[in-house]
Structure 1
Amino acid sequence: MIPTRKDQRRNPRFDAEAYRRRNIVERCILWLKENRRLATRFEKLAVNFLAMVKLAMIRRCFRLLEPSDRT
């Protein structure tokens, strides 16, 4: 968290639930950016970009479901 300046009021109340949700969203964006086509915004049309996002999420789900030999 960023500290407040001296001329400001006290720190705003820390919302743990909002912080937890933010972490989930940031990790999801990180997973999506593993796909180079999404990270560089290769698709210019919004409908095509959304389709690629959906495909990337399906790929992520399959990765989570398949048994891993990496452990």
Structure 2
Amino acid sequence: MVEPTLMWTRSSYCADSACVEAAPIGDHGVALRDSKDPGQPVLRISRADWHGFLDSITAGRYSDI
């Protein structure tokens, strides 16, 4: 179940409703969900893993996807 107090955000690059939304979970990490089906279970990742993922994006490691 998704906590009702999470503040979900969507990337400004999102062009339609098929996006990933992220919400901080206090000091514990980040919750991710599919914007098309927000009632489904969320993926929870640690803060370190989230920052590693964002660093990889910034470095262009996913530019060919």
Which structure carries more relative contact order (alpha carbon 8 Å, separation 6+)? 2
Determine which structure has the larger helix proportion and give its number.
1
Fold shared by both chains (TM-score > 0.5) = no
Larger Rg, first or second structure (1 or 2): 1
Q: TM-score, normalization: structure 1?
A: 0.28
Determine which structure has the larger strand proportion and give its number.
2
